Amino acid sequence: MNEITTLEEFDALVVRSENDPVFIFKHSTTCPISARAIDRVNQYMESKGEAVPPFSLVKVIESRPVSNGIADRLSVIHQSPQLILLHAGKGIWNASHHNITAENIESALETVTG
């Protein structure tokens, strides 16, 4: 999972999402719920191996302007932890807290991959 720390890096993900689904995980490094959610995301990524779509990480405290910019640009209410699926340049799905599960990630991907 690559960390993004600038809005320019976020913009590059938006462009990338024109062709491929991209996930952004908004993570609070001080929150135990967020720690469990990132563990579930990492387990999902490991289980998919090479077939895993790109995932990027935004640390909401350390990169507050990026976190806020993502919420503003995608018109997604900020939450942490939060997983957002980008496709065709838009935030088409998001989940937070205990709803960040492998099953929900798979369901979200099915909406764009069929």
Q: Give the model's pLDDT for residue 113.
A: 81
Percent of the chain residues past pLDDT 90, beyond the cut: 96
CATH number (domain holding residue 80):
3.40.30.10
Residue 104's domain spans which residues?
2-113
Q: Which residues contact 16 (CB under 8 A, 6 or more apart)?
A: 22, 54
- Give the confidence band of 114 by pLDDT, cuts at 50, 70, 90: confident
- Among 67, 65, 72, residue whose Cα is nearest residue 82: 67
What's the whole-model pTM score? 0.95
The one-letter amino acid at 30: T
Number of domains in the chain: 1
